[in-house]
Structure 1
Amino acid sequence: MERPYVIVSAAMSLDGFLDDVAPERLVLSNEADFDRVDAVRAGVDAIAIGAGTVRADNPRLLVRSPERRAMREASGRAASPLRAVFSPSGDLDPEAHVFNSGDRVVVYTSVIGARVCPLDSASAEVVATSEEEVDLEVALDDMAARGVERLLVEGGGVIHTAFLSADLVDEVNLAVAPFLLGERGGARFVYETGFPQSPERPLRLAEARAIGEIALLVYRRT
């Protein structure tokens, strides 16, 4: 069984930040790019985020466009893709939007995290992948068994770093805002570690275009 095709998606500043340190969420994109992301969501089988993104952004991870939702249903699929949360600790808020809108969520965690996870079976299915961490390959195998062929990973930086460093990413979609954050920067697109996408094995630029003042860059595995 092949693992899902993995797409990493993010909006970031020119210097690689996903957010600043202010209490309010920094908007890095525009409505046209939000609609593009919604189209990407509508075309995948699952959307995944890390626990940090649940806490910071409290997203619902649903397809927003009624037309796209209707097209998915007409093809025999759910209105929105399967939603997944990666949390080694299992420390998640049961009141978060993702657990209270749409179908149940799959939470990939550790054996330790599964013991303490406060979610009930009505809102989430908890899957322990290893003793102390989330084993990404086990999680991807589980998704493949559920019929997931295309997975969209929406962040944040910790989960981006994990997937990229494990060489489990087939495509990267970056919406780059026309400013730098510098010392105001908060969460990053990726964090320091070893990456196989090196100068010796770079990704291939598949698309580059302007969406208003936003630059969309799409890279694929060579």
Structure 2
Amino acid sequence: METLMPRPYVLLSVATSIDGHIDDTSPDRLLLSNSEDFDRVDQVRAESDAILIGAGTMRADNPRLLVNSEERRAARVAAGKPAYPLKVTISASGDLDADLKFWHHGDAKVAYTTDAGAEKLRERLAGLADVVTLGESIDLGRLLDDLGERGVQQLMVEGGGSIHTAFLSQGLADEIHLAIAPLVVGQADAPSFLNPASYPGGSTRRMKLAEARTIGDVVLLRYLPKQESEQ
């Protein structure tokens, strides 16, 4: 009987406004974190084996998704790791352009898709990433199993809202880093951290708060979703 490698520790990382939005409706990306918090995120990236964003975030923000600190990259290499974590994305349709910055910076990349999207994505990427099908639909359990087989011990999930919702509602998130910025978006149609879904335990279940600290004008809250509050 085949023994699967342990699934990665899943860390959801997000910055929101006071009213829970991760962006506004303008064409420009809303910068919620301050410089100190961006540096903290860079440190968490450097400590992770893989970083995941969804296709929607790739299309909207076109990020490179890198460890920016040269010192942190050097420390990874000194520890026998690649300079950059594995970059991971999910697209059920396979509708991702090859000219996105994600594919052309950093080290190895993996794109998870469905049986229907796999052929399209392999043709478009042409060797830019390892394309893996998860079956007829996106199965996050299979995704985590595959990452475990690749040696990923910590997966940092940076969004967007649909991706965060999927991991948390399916009970697959081990930790949440929630950075709250001192601003209000006030737009009902602006993207949110989480979407309506059935979450483990429902609205009466209290998660364990592991840490609360200020980072400049941002407040960082660390929650452990699989553990109950002691209060």
Q: TM-score, normalised by structure 1?
A: 0.96
**Superposition RMSD on alpha carbons, in Å?**
1.3
Q: Which runs of 5+ in 2 are unaligned?
A: none
Matches within 5 A, 1:174-213: 174-183=178-187, 186-196=190-200, 198-213=202-217
CA distance in 2 between counterparts of 1:184 and 1:136 reads: 29
Bigger shift: 3-12 or 173-182? 173-182
1:90 to 70, 87, 94: 94
- Aligned residue number for residue 42 of structure 2: 38
1:122 Cα offset (Å): 2.5
1:197 Cα offset (Å): 5.0
Q: Which runs of 5+ in 1 are unaligned?
A: none
Runs of 4+ in 1 over 6 A off after TM superposition: none
> Contact 1:197–1:203 (CA<8 Å) still a contact in 2?
no
- Aligned residue number for residue 30 of structure 2: 26
Matches within 5 A, 1:23-172: 23-117=27-121, 118-131=123-136, 133-172=137-176
Bigger shift: 29-38 or 173-182? 173-182
Bigger shift: 179-188 or 212-221? 179-188
Helix, strand or coil for the counterpart of 1:159? Answer: helix
Task: Determine what percentage of the aligned residue pairs are the same residue.
Answer: 52
1:102 Cα offset (Å): 2.0
Bigger shift: 38-47 or 97-106? 97-106
Change in CA separation of 1:197 and 1:11 when aligned onto 2, cut-off 3 Å: farther
- Aligned residue number for residue 218 of structure 1: 222
1:184 Cα offset (Å): 6.4
